[in-house]
A and B are shown apart, each in its own frame.
Chain A
């Protein structure tokens, strides 16, 4: 085994990682590490000033990503990453703010903040890593846990149906909605870059293996076997209605870029209201056109 020579180049992401904190806490085979690499690649690709890029996260396995990336990063309280990011972005609109957190953090305890931040169309990008349970606390039921799956708080099988997060995001008004697995790295990186470059609330959901908590209890096997499972079952369907894109483990996992639209952000509308340029409700000329109505 050769020792590292002077001519051996370092890992290309090294400058963006707080290498003094490696090894990170994620388990062997955890998909979050892959997503982390993807997020960093997307940040580099998007071309934003790294000094003005900020990561905000909540609590959980995914949220630990904030501690390993060498950018201004904020590891806040459980579920409250989105309002924190709202305050951060509105106070300094020049910042590019990403919220990276898990399915439970963003959509269970943070559910209320999620629907309102999407509704307001705050210009942030939300990366939601979906490992189908609450990993950090040992594998409890989450709003993403499939019906019948075993977790520590549902040993006889989960009695609840999960959310379709993409459908929820799109219904709340997100302007960019996509779902990928941690195996679809290139498309994921592109998606995150697109979401970052888009003005408004972008939402990218990523299915990742959780071998230690979810995988073990549901006899999925190793992380590699989970990835192979995702590989076999996932179908890419871009531009379909997220309502038609469930995660159906018995059948197909639909991935793709579902929503890519335009809408004025909160700051745009706030400026209009400050300048008293919002017309008098309800006397607009004609009627308002809803997004999902034809014609």
Chain B
């Protein structure tokens, strides 16, 4: 983040960072999350899930601020964000669940 001057409480305030979790097999490819993520974290992937839909993929996880908007908007409960405990490290967990 570029600051024109350094804020006095920069060290103590931590911007929240989020990690996106996608439950691939629930997704039905509506693209709501991709279109309405306020930080443009997501894009559509080229792969298919087991139902034949394109699922979202995380493009730039460092931008995610854990606002939960994708989680609130998704009609399938297929995407949600959690507090990133190790911000910047690792990729998104995309996983298949056995019984939904």
Which residues of A pack against B, CB within 8 Å? 1-5, 8-9, 11-14, 17, 19-20, 22-24, 26-34, 36-38, 41, 183, 185-186, 189, 222-224, 227-228
Q: Is the CB of B28 within 8 A of A29?
A: yes
Q: Is the CB of A13 within 8 A of B77?
A: yes
Task: Give Cα A223–Cα B95 distance, bound, in whole angstroms.
Answer: 25
Whether A186 contacts B72 in the complex (CB less than 8 A), given A3-B95, A3-B96, A4-B96, comes out as yes
Q: Is the CB of A2 within 8 A of B95?
A: yes
Residue ID in chain A nearest B91 by CB atoms: A2
Task: Give Cα A102–Cα B86 distance, bound, in whole angstroms.
Answer: 44
Q: Is the CB of A224 within 8 A of B74?
A: no
Q: Is the CB of B72 within 8 A of A30?
A: no
Whether A20 contacts B75 in the complex (CB less than 8 A), given A2-B94, A5-B93, comes out as no
Of the candidates A1, A9, A27, A37, the one whose C-beta lies within 8 Å of that of B74 is A37
Q: Per-residue CB proximity of B75-98 to A under 8 Å, as 1/0? A: 111001010000000010111110
Q: Per-residue CB proximity of B23-53 to A under 8 Å, as 1/0? A: 1101011111001100000000000000101
Q: Is the CB of A34 within 8 A of B72?
A: yes
| Chain B interface category by residue count | 20 to 34
B99 within 8 A of A: yes
A sample of 30 inter-chain contacts (CB < 8 A) reads A1-B24, A1-B95, A2-B94, A2-B95, A3-B96, A4-B95, A8-B95, A9-B21, A11-B71, A19-B99, A22-B77, A22-B100, A23-B28, A23-B76, A23-B100, A28-B30, A33-B74, A34-B32, A34-B72, A34-B73, A34-B74, A37-B71, A37-B75, A185-B72, A222-B30, A222-B31, A223-B32, A224-B30, A224-B35, A228-B35
Of the candidates A4, A26, A27, the one whose C-beta lies within 8 Å of that of B97 is A4
Q: Is the CB of A28 within 8 A of B29?
A: yes
Which residues of B pack against A, CB within 8 Å? 21, 23-24, 26, 28-32, 35-36, 51, 53, 69, 71-77, 80, 82, 91, 93-97, 99-100
Task: Give Cα A23–Cα B50 distance, bound, in whole angstroms.
Answer: 12
Residues of A within 8 A of B96 (CB): 3-4
* Of listed B91, B93, B99, residue having the most chain A CB within 10 A: B93
Residue ID in chain B nearest A9 by CB atoms: B82
Task: Give Cα A28–Cα B49 distance, bound, in whole angstroms.
Answer: 14
Task: Give Cα A23–Cα B23 distance, bound, in whole angstroms.
Answer: 12
Other contacts beyond A11-B71, A222-B31: 7, CB < 8 A: A9-B21, A24-B76, A30-B75, A33-B75, A185-B69, A185-B72, A189-B72
Residues of A within 8 A of B21 (CB): 8-9
Task: Give Cα A26–Cα B30 distance, bound, in whole angstroms.
Answer: 12
Residue ID in chain B nearest A20 by CB atoms: B99
* Of listed A13, A23, A30, residue having the most chain B CB within 10 A: A23
